[in-house]
Structure 1
Amino acid sequence: MSDHFKPAAEGLRTRVFQVIFESDTPLAKGFDIALIGVILASVLVVMLDSVSAYRAEYGALFYWLEWGFTLAFTLELALRLYCLDKPLGYLKSFYGVIDVLAILPTWLVLLVPGAQSLVVIRLLRVLRIFRILRLMQFVGEARLLVEALRRSSHQIFLFLFGVFMLVTIFASLVYLIEPEEAGFSSIPTAIYWAIVTLTTVGYGDIVPVTPLGQAISVMVMLTGYSIIAVPTGVFSAEVIRSIRADRYSDEACPGCGHDRHEKRAKYCLRCGTWLDEETPDPREKRDDGASNDKEAPA
């Protein structure tokens, strides 16, 4: 994250930036570990608060813990905005939106009037579970997964569109074949059945009763088994490509032209040529020094 955002100025803001956005110092690592612990604890409180028995016995404790977490996250967000040169840009980023969602529900509860809005309060409580997404900023590989999803989004969309067409066709056929008493009262209901069957979930709440409908069910299930691995393969290929792009360099060797070197590599894997053309090869300096020593008169 520190690669995309910069501190606002030298001094205190820079020191705060190094603690919050970087992790190469003991203080910054301690801050990250403490923040992870607070996030997990807040999510655990939200989960326990959804259990009626726990809410009845520990409701007051959950209430004050939630406000403590909210104040801590609010202070953290304020410090992040304080130390950045472009705080508005951070608020528009993915992690900025998550930070706002982490504190917004609790503050909005103060603005919700009366008991008639209990449904809204419950919705706001559930929204606090999105704090778990903040843990993504501590996982370095999350960027690779997001990049792989972005690259494969077009193929996955085409795949899902094709599956939707198959589901619609199968559902329409079963709706025409099966009697309404079997549960196929409409095409949307038949589409629900087709999706459940295609994904091999098989709830069994709607089942064809005619031989032809059962034959179509077999076709749908076999189709599901045959195509269910397609998006997994597409996504896996993009993940591998992202890992290779992150690890390997595309710059060709000036000696043999080989272009699949690790980014940390200094010499070519095939011919041993020095890869950095902007700086001299340190081996040549050592060789020249040794030659001059040998040619020097006794």
Structure 2
Amino acid sequence: MSALPDNPANALHGWRLRVYTIIFEADTRAGRWFDQVLIACILLSVAVVMADSVPALGAHYHRAFQVAEWIFTVLFTLEYLARLATVQRPLRYATSFFGIVDLLALLPTYLALLLPGAHALIDVRVLRLLRIFRVFKLSAYVVEYRSLAHALRASRRKIVVFISGVLMIVLVMGTVMYVVEGPENGFTSIPTAVYWAITTMTTVGFGDITPRTELGRFFSSAMMLLGWGTLAVPTGIVTAEMAAQRFSSPTTLPTPTTRTCHECLTEGHLPEALHCHHCGAHLPPWQHEPGGQGHP
């Protein structure tokens, strides 16, 4: 993609650039401290909600839990507004994955004013811990995550074919079990029988529906054995793709940083990168501490 034209009027500078570097990047000391404090607050806020759901604790400390919950919500609200105020394109951030997660982390507390009990949904804040990969310099894990994502994307057609085959098997076996067992043994309809076939083939086996006849048990045993075999298929597909990718890629990969593009908010650029690898926009100078992550 061609580089986006630079607009000096919209370029970040002054306090917006400083706050942006602290909030969105973690290669400076202030940025690392900010994200570490943020992660601690997320963990504490989730712990408060979980503790409040325990009857013994909620009965004695409900008021304290409510106060703590509102304190965390106000802090996260200020953080969310600061993110909107410092990015070049607030709407793009608000509709991004992390932007939506950040907003969902705020809404339950406010919704609880109208819908009691909605505050329990605050546990969605745990998704914000995905930032831990860049805060604690776990760049190697990010590279492995991208490798796994690439393997899944490369093998998606094979997985779709496999799932289609499994769906046909459970549909046929569910229909057979509906005919063999019948409504009197719990197989009240073909969809119910297909549900049984899925739980049996995936080796989950809830036990709420079980075959009663000898022929039904025979088919059930065959489904269980078939389930053991099918578990290895998707694993082998993805593993083969990962092995092929590992042999075709260099043994050592450059370490990405938390440097983000001001246009599209994509991070993971190399220290020497001049343009965004996603949208092609010009990258600002890399803000970092000497000897920090990605520093040669």
Q: Give the TM-score, by structure 2 length.
A: 0.72
Equivalents in 2 of 1:177, 1:79: separation in Å? 64
The change in CA–CA distance for 1:42 and 1:203 in structure 2 (over 3 A counts) is: same
1:213 CA drift (Å): 0.7
CA distances 1:194-232 after superposition (whole Å, capped 9, x unpaired): 122112122322211111111110111111100112223
Most deviating of 152-161 and 14-23: 152-161
AA of the residue aligned to 2:125: R
- Corresponding residue for residue 125 of structure 1: 119
CA distances 1:13-39 after superposition (whole Å, capped 9, x unpaired): 111111111111211111111111111
- Corresponding residue for residue 269 of structure 1: none
- Corresponding residue for residue 115 of structure 1: none
1:263 CA drift (Å): 4.8
CA distances 1:64-107 after superposition (whole Å, capped 9, x unpaired): 11111111111111111111111111111110110010001112
The change in CA–CA distance for 1:101 and 1:262 in structure 2 (over 3 A counts) is: same
- Corresponding residue for residue 209 of structure 1: 212
User: SS in structure 2 opposite 1:24?
Assistant: coil
Equivalents in 2 of 1:56, 1:25: separation in Å? 43
Q: Does the 8 Å contact 2:187/2:209 carry over to 1?
A: yes
Q: Give the TM-score, by structure 1 length.
A: 0.71
- Any unmatched runs of 5+ in structure 2? 1-9, 134-138, 255-296
User: SS in structure 1 opposite 2:174?
Assistant: helix
Equivalents in 2 of 1:243, 1:136: separation in Å? 25
The change in CA–CA distance for 1:128 and 1:189 in structure 2 (over 3 A counts) is: same
Which structure has the highest helix share of the two?
Answer: 1
- Corresponding residue for residue 294 of structure 1: none
Alignment pair present for 1:138 and 2:141: no
User: SS in structure 1 opposite 2:120?
Assistant: helix
- Corresponding residue for residue 56 of structure 2: 53
Matched-pair identity in %: 44
Q: Does the 8 Å contact 1:182/1:209 carry over to 2?
A: yes
- Corresponding residue for residue 229 of structure 1: 232
Root-mean-square deviation (CA, aligned residues, Å) is 2.5
- Any unmatched runs of 5+ in structure 1? 1-6, 113-119, 249-259, 265-298
1:42 CA drift (Å): 1.2
The change in CA–CA distance for 1:65 and 1:27 in structure 2 (over 3 A counts) is: same
AA of the residue aligned to 2:212: V
The change in CA–CA distance for 1:201 and 1:101 in structure 2 (over 3 A counts) is: same
AA of the residue aligned to 1:131: R
User: SS in structure 2 opposite 1:171?
Assistant: helix
After superposition, where does 1:269-280 map in structure 2 within 5 Å?
A: none
- Corresponding residue for residue 102 of structure 2: 99
Equivalents in 2 of 1:221, 1:54: separation in Å? 44
Alignment pair present for 1:70 and 2:65: no
- Corresponding residue for residue 200 of structure 1: 203
- Corresponding residue for residue 86 of structure 1: 89
Equivalents in 1 of 2:104, 2:11: separation in Å? 24
Q: Does the 8 Å contact 1:178/1:184 carry over to 2?
A: yes
- Corresponding residue for residue 257 of structure 1: none
**Larger Rg belongs to:** 1
1:149 CA drift (Å): 4.4
After superposition, where does 1:181-196 map in structure 2 within 5 Å?
A: 181-196=184-199
After superposition, where does 1:164-179 map in structure 2 within 5 Å?
A: 164-179=167-182
The change in CA–CA distance for 1:9 and 1:92 in structure 2 (over 3 A counts) is: same
Equivalents in 2 of 1:105, 1:207: separation in Å? 41
Equivalents in 1 of 2:11, 2:47: separation in Å? 35
Higher relative contact order (CA 8 A, sep 6+): 2
